[in-house]
């Protein structure tokens, strides 16, 4: 029997295009792994066509939707690939959503409980560099836009806050792995 190479790697960051580039690099051997992107379920795509009269969703509502999308990704992409012995790079995974939630003032306990169903990644990577503005196709950017609408200053502060939380988490991880 062949030894299983199944491995879940998470790549989290605010800048979506940098996260995707890092995710591709994280696959050790092409053909033996794949990338699971956010919104594979199309929930956020559907959300974008909703009438503005439906009201702006709060950070908590958006996080519940992100978690629903992640449950979909785990069921259809991540778990089947792991079961087949492949490397799966989840980009983004849980840390990006938690960083967004913390920047928006959502309690850590609630965030931790929300993602309790998601298995921990064997390896966690962080993309902390920001190439100017965050990409419009990233979760943090889209969620900030939905929460704050036309208020660009508030949007930028929320994105900056999420990036700061991710940097702090990356530093914590790095310190822990040195010990």
> Is the Cβ–Cβ distance between 177 and 125 less than 8 Å?
no
Binding part of the chain for other proteins, among 14-22, 90-98, 108-116, 170-178 by CB under 8 A, reads 108-116
> Does residue number 133 form part of the binding site for other proteins (CB under 8 A)?
no
Site string for other proteins, 139-168 (x = CB under 8 A): --------xxx-x--x--xx--x-------
> Does residue number 43 form part of the binding site for other proteins (CB under 8 A)?
yes
CB of 38 to other proteins, least distance (A): 14
Distances, alpha carbon 19 to alpha carbons 57, 123, 151, 159, in Å = 25, 15, 25, 15
Assigned token pair, 155? 């949007």
Site string for other proteins, 59-78 (x = CB under 8 A): xxx--xx-xx--xx--x---
> Does residue number 83 form part of the binding site for other proteins (CB under 8 A)?
no
Q: How far apart are CA 44 and CA 95, in angstroms?
A: 18
* Nearer to other proteins among residue 22 and residue 103 (C-beta): 103
Map residue 88 onto helix, strand or coil: strand
Locus of tokens 């200053």: 153
Q: How far apart are CA 66 and CA 64, in angstroms?
A: 5
Q: What share of the chain is helix, strand, coil (3-state, %, to 5)?
A: 55, 10, 30
Total of chain residues touching other proteins, rule CB under 8 A: 40
> Does residue number 122 form part of the binding site for other proteins (CB under 8 A)?
no
CA-based torsion, 151, 154, 157, 159: positive or negative: negative
Contact footprint for other proteins (CB under 8 A): 41, 43, 46-47, 50-51, 53-61, 64-65, 67-68, 71-72, 75, 102-105, 109-110, 113-114, 116-117, 147-149, 151, 154, 157-158, 161
């Amino acid at each position: 029997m062949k030894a299983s190479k199944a491995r879940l790697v998470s790549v989290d960051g605010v800048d979506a295009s940098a996260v995707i580039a890092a995710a591709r690099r994280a696959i050790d051997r092409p053909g033996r792994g794949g990338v699971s992107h956010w919104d594979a379920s199309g929930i956020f795509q559907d959300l974008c066509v909703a009438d503005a009269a439906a009201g702006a969703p709060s950070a908590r509502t958006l996080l519940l939707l992100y978690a629903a999308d992640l449950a979909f990704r785990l069921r259809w992409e991540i778990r089947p690939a792991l079961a087949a012995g492949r490397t799966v790079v989840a980009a983004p995974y849980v840390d990006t959503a938690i960083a967004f939630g913390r920047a928006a003032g959502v309690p850590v306990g609630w965030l931790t409980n929300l993602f309790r169903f998601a298995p921990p990644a064997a390896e966690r990577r962080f993309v902390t560099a920001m190439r100017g503005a965050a990409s419009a196709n990233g979760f943090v950017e889209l969620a900030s836009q939905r929460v704050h609408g036309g208020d660009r200053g508030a949007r930028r502060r929320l994105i900056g806050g999420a990036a700061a939380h991710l940097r702090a988490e990356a530093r914590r991880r790095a310190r822990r792995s040195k010990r």
